[in-house]
Structure formats: C-alpha cells, structure tokens
Amino acid sequence: MENILKNKIVEKKAKIGIIGLGYVGLPLGVEFAKKGFEVCGIDIDERRVNLLNKKRSYILDVTSEDVKATTDAGLFSATTSYRIISKLDIIIICVPTPLRKTREPDISYIVNSTEKIAKYKRKGQLIILESTTYPGTTDEVALPILTRNGWKLDKDFFLVFSPERVDPANIKYKTKDIPKIVGGVTKDSAELGRLLYSHIISNVTTVSSSKAAEMVKLLENTFRSVNIGLVNEIALMCDKLGVDVWEIIDAAKTKPFGFMPFYPGPGLGGHCIPIDPLYLSWKARIHGFEARFIELADMVNSAMPGHVTRRISEILNRYKKSLSGSSILLVGVAYKRDVHDMRESPALEIIRLLRKAGAQISYFDPYVPEITVDGSKLKSLKWGPGIFKGKDCVAVITDHSSIDYDELLRNSKVIFDARNVYKNTKAKNVVRL
C-alpha cells in the first residue's frame, strides 16, 4: 500500500481531496492543482462550491484566474458531496476549530469530517489534518474513528498532522513560500506526508510525531499572543506615564539582537492568535498544569477594546461631550489590514461597548460591506466628504492600505488612532493609542 501511494505521489497521479475551502483549504488545493495534481475540494457551503465551479474565487489570496486555469485544465473541481472520498488517494482536512462559549475547544468540525472519511474511505489512503488543534487530537480523536472497523494504520491507511501556517493578505509569504511541518502518527505516514508537500513547498521539516506537530503550531501562535499581550500592557503603562509607546518601540528595535518588535492595537482578531493558545491552555489544565502566561496574555488582550472605548470617552470629554449621544465613525472593522475576515475582530466588541454607553455608531470598511452586531445590521458608509459630517470622533481600528488617511485627517474633528497610521503627523486633532 505504501509503495503504491508513494509512486502515485511521485508521478503526480495521486488524487487529492481538500475538506474545507476557506483561507487554508482553497489556496492549498489550488497550489497542488497548479503543480499537476488532480484536486477536488469539498465544502458544505453551496455558495462557495458554486462560485468555484463558475471559476471564481472568493479568497483574496487566490485569484479567479488561477481557479479558471486549474479548472480548465481538469485539475480542480469542487463539490458538496463527501462520496468523492472513495475515489481519492489523499484527503486533507482544513476545517475551522473555534472555541465554545465556555472557552473550551470545539473540534466538532474535525470529528464530523473524520466521520465522513471513515464512512467513505478505501484502503491505501493518506489522511492529513491541517486544522489547528490541541496536542493529541490526531492520535486520540482521529485515529480511533478511522480504526473502528479494524483497519490498521500503515497497513490500510496513513495518518499525518501538518499545521497550516497561512497568513491572509501576506504578499511576501503565500502557501508555497511558507516552510511546512509534518508529523506522522508513524514514521511511514510522516514520510508520505513529507513527500507530498515537497511537491509544492521546498522546505519541509519532519518532526517526531503528530503530537509534536500539533504543539509546534500552538507554540507559534502562543508566542505571538503573549508578546502582543506584553506590548499591549506596556501601551497601557505608557498611557499612565505620559510617554509615547510607539516611540519607545521604534527606539528599542534599533538594538540588533535580543529584541523583536511587537505592536499594540485595539485587541486581537482572526481565527488563530486569540483562539489557539487557549486550546493549549485547556489541554494543559487537563494535565494539571496552569498556563499562566497564556491566561494573562488573553486577559490583557481581551481588555483592549475596553481601553479603546475609555480613550474615545476621554477624547470626547476634552470637547465637552460624553459618549452618550455622540456620533462616532469607525474606520476599518476587519480583524486585520486588507482582508474581509471579521472573525474575532475587536471592532465588534468596541461597537458593543460604545453602543452600550449610548454612542451612535457608523463605520467604513472597503472590504466589509455589512456586519451584524448583537442581532442588528450595520452597512458600511460610502467614502466621500459627507462621511465625516456630524461625526464627533473618528476611530481608526483597522489600517487598510487603500484608505486616504490624508483626507480623513483634513475632514475629521478629532481622530483616535489605534494603529499608528499618523505616526509622522503632529496634528492636534490626532490622539494615538
């Protein structure tokens, strides 16, 4: 079985299925198709599947031209049916792993996908999990499902964990440019995973186990979460001390060793950094270990929307206004620059807090035409001189590169800048985080 699959991978005759066609799955599938593999994407979202079969992309990191080219070549297709699994050689799971309201891991998407694979699987397949999850998921959750009918690992199928490392809207580092980590449940599985990914990624590193690979991903995002939490706390401290945190960071980063700059902001967003460390913290608690750095960083980062709200209130007080009844325009609501992803965006909590205080909220975001906050919908205003009329304060929450910040400065009474876009201005109507 192993040699047959290995030959198929080497000769690019292995048929690949990608379960989950979001920010991770679609770029991965298109990349394999561009290298000559036949790829079928599987997603329960009919809208996504219909768009792809019309040769249109809905992901910023994947062009419609690439979807069209690979589709026309007969190398890429999409479906909502899991029955295709029986015809595949390799299945890669790229589904979401959110948190429950109890702040515990929700791996239901992984379980459901693995159950579908177990239902339609055939012998000789390589199954890869890319969804970020706690250490032990591949061994403790996926493997038992796949071996329920007596099938043996490395005899009837192969199982690997290879963490996704996608950074949406990153121009420099696309899927093919980011080194890949591969951890197999066994060495034979790991070697097949390494062989597969080496077709699209030049730098593939194999670690000793699937659990090690799962831990690698969580270390990466915990590192970022903790350091962002540190610099956010420094920003709060600098505010009390009356010094400019942005100046302090710029000066500190002149040191050529021993320092890596991180920057404060209105809060953490996206599917990874606010969530992944809590997967690790949860797993640690099960083993009687308290992840204090993770919990503290989460507490600091989660408090930043509240800090933004207080700063806006203080700014309005200078103009003898209160939050209640004031008209506030938020510029940028996506979780990061130049994406339309709203997952865990701090803008949502900022809007809730401002509304709770009685403020009238509107927003502009070129990537997000509409949002829903606590059941009520808001639509993005159209950019133009009239957008600033009657606004008591403008808050820059997400620093999209396409926004005309000079025009924003000329037409605004006062600006709260949470992203340091006005670092080179001395305008009196700008207050930075």
d(CA 153, CA 325): 64
d(CA 395, CA 421): 11
Residue of 249, 246, 221 whose CA lies nearest to 419: 246
Contact 380, 370 (CB under 8 A): yes
d(CA 425, CA 181): 43
d(CA 270, CA 335): 6
Q: Is 272 a catalytic residue?
A: yes
Residue 237 Ramachandran class (φ > 0 left, ψ -120 to 50 alpha, else beta): alpha
Q: Report residue 283 CA to chain centroid gap.
A: 21
Contact 337, 170 (CB under 8 A): no
Catalytic residue among 40, 94, 238, 272: 272
Phi, psi for 59 (deg, rounded to 5):
-110, 130
Alpha-carbon distances of 175 from 162, 166, 170, 193, 262, rounded to whole Å: 13, 6, 10, 16, 23
Phi, psi for 357 (deg, rounded to 5):
-80, 0
Residue 325 Ramachandran class (φ > 0 left, ψ -120 to 50 alpha, else beta): left
User: Beta strands 180-184 and 430-432: pairing type?
Assistant: unpaired
d(CA 404, CA 412): 12
**Residue 93: strand, helix, or coil:** strand
d(CA 75, CA 53): 12
Length of the chain as a residue count: 433
Residue 417's DSSP bridge partners are 396, 432
- How many other C-beta atoms are found inside a 10 Å radius of the C-beta of residue 139? 16
The catalytic residue positions are 272
